[in-house]
């Protein structure tokens, strides 16, 4: 796909997909509750896949989570406690993404799960759930706090189904805390008795209640519009609907982060308004921590390099096991423009550039929706090509249409 910008400031209103983080949790909770409605579900592939597999599970013995990490992890726990028998499979990339921590915890709770190929990785064979005995004592599990929050959320959501409930202790540093808090808040909305105290999460046995819930728009998707406003000509602004000041999503951190790149946010009753402002003078190198919002890292790295605003980025550990190795992918693609992402100390990566220029380069997307959307805003600085642009269907299927509506010239690349 060839992208270019005709010139002038960026103006208008853009539509966002609903949060797939909220939606996929709400769909699991709705299934466990046996009723209720989940409103504002997006057409994002991961959300529709979760919905489809939950509906199909009672009548099939093979379910394909494809390349969706949230779907694979949440379904593993859900299918285990609902006594499902069958195989849960995924793409070749999914078979490289670890799931051993979750499987081992579920086995301790009573799930029968086997690995079909490599130990610790999908595909899986599930053989039902056998509680050791009826007891009032909760199932006690300990998992590392720095693993993917999806493992932790998967265990929490099935906690009420375990005899005696669940007491989950997180060891070491706890990452992605907002996603854990989101899970707890949604569980409580669906009637669960659960609490989070420091590193101990307690879920009491019981039943979820059918509940109606409307999903908020996606702050991760909004981050690309922040990038667009930051990189656009002076005077640019955009309005985004469906976002809340009081949000469950950790990626709302983009509001504060983008002040360093000259984007001002005004909250309105129906969403937010973004306006480009001259960035305030900053220290030589800005430091930002992505521990709680790793999905923002690609967006910020690209903007920092394009604006030559050096940023030291920490909390990127989980990027190695996403749809691709996102650190390696960023390094390879930024280099095409004169950008750089290098490790300057243990776990700290600096994004910066020397002679950054956009001139018809082709960006590889590595089967990763966020690579496509993080690099697309560079078209405001010059023409470029995006390889395999359909990857955006995973989370924001209408992304290219929304760019076209805002004035981008989009053609099929030669």
Residues in the annotated binding site for phosphoenolpyruvate: 20, 69, 97, 150, 326, 370, 394
Whether 340 is catalytic: no
Other Cβ atoms within 10 Å of 75 Cβ, number: 26
DSSP H or E stretch at residue 333: helix 326-335
Rounded to whole angstroms, the Cα distance separating 158 from 109 reads 11
As given in the structure block, the two tokens for residue 89 are 């499979």
Whether residue 100 contacts residue 78, with contact meaning beta carbons closer than 8 Å, is answered with no
Say which DSSP state 97 is in.
S
Rounded to whole angstroms, the Cα distance separating 97 from 86 reads 20
Whether residue 368 contacts residue 405, with contact meaning beta carbons closer than 8 Å, is answered with no
Long-range pairs for 55-64: beta carbons < 8 A, 24 or more residues apart: 57/82, 57/84, 60/86, 61/85, 61/86, 61/87, 62/86, 62/87, 62/89, 63/87, 63/88, 63/89, 64/89, 64/90
**What's the N-to-C CA distance of the chain in angstroms?**
8
Residue of 251, 295, 340, 368 marked catalytic: 295
User: What is the side-by-side strand order in the sheet with 237-241?
Assistant: 13-14, 237-241, 271-276, 263-268
Rounded to whole angstroms, the Cα distance separating 84 from 78 reads 9
Say which DSSP state 236 is in.
-
Residue 83 vs residues 58, 127, 139, 203: alpha-carbon distances, Å = 10, 7, 17, 20
Angle at CA of residue 10, ends 5 and 11, nearest 5°: 135
DSSP H or E stretch at residue 202: strand 200-203
Residues in the chain: 414
Residues placed in the known binding site for 3-phosphoshikimate: 20-21, 25, 148-150, 176, 295, 322
- Say how many CA atoms lie within 13 Å of 207 toward its Cβ: 5
- Catalytic residue numbers, as ranges: 295
């Amino acid at each position: 796909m060839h992208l270019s910008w005709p010139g002038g400031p960026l103006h208008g209103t853009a539509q966002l997909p609903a949060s797939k983080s909220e939606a996929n949790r709400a769909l699991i909770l709705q299934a466990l509750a046996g009723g209720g409605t989940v409103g504002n579900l997006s057409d994002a592939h991961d959300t529709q896949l979760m919905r489809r597999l939950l509906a199909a599970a009672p009548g099939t013995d093979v379910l394909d989570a494809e390349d969706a990490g949230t779907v694979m992890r949440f379904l593993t726990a859900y299918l285990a406690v609902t006594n499902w028998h069958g195989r849960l499979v995924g793409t070749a990339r999914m078979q490289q993404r670890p799931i051993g921590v979750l499987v081992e915890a579920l086995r301790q709770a009573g799930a029968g799960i086997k690995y079909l190929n490599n130990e610790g990785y999908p595909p899986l064979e599930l053989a039902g759930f056998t509680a050791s005995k009826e007891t009032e004592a909760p199932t006690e599990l300990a998992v590392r706090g720095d693993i993917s929050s999806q493992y932790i959320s998967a265990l929490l959501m099935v906690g009420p189904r375990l005899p005696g409930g669940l007491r989950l202790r997180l060891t070491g540093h706890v990452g992605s805390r907002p996603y854990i808090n989101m899970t707890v808040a949604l569980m409580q909305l669906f009637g669960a008795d659960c609490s989070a105290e420091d590193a101990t999460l307690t879920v009491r046995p019981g039943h979820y209640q059918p509940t109606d819930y409307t999903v908020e728009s996606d702050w991760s998707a909004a981050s690309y519009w922040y990038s667009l406003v930051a990189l656009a000509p002076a005077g640019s602004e955009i309005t985004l609907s469906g976002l809340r000041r009081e949000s469950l999503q950790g990626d709302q951190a983009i509001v504060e982060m983008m002040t360093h790149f000259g984007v001002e946010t005004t909250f309105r009753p129906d969403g937010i308004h973004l306006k480009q402002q001259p960035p305030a003078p900053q220290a030589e190198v800005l430091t930002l921590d992505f521990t709680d919002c790793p999905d923002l890292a690609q967006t910020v790295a690209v903007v920092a390099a394009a604006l030559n605003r050096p940023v030291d980025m920490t909390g990127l550990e989980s990027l190695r096991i996403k749809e691709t190795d996102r650190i390696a992918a960023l390094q390879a693609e930024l280099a095409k423009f004169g950008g750089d992402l290098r490790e300057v100390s243990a776990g700290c990566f600096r994004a910066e550039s020397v002679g950054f220029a956009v001139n018809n380069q082709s960006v590889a997307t590595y089967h990763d929706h966020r690579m496509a959307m993080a690099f697309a805003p560079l078209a405001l600085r010059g023409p470029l090509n995006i390889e395999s642009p359909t990857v955006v269907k995973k989370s924001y299927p209408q992304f290219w249409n929304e760019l076209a509506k805002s004035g981008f010239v989009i053609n099929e690349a030669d």
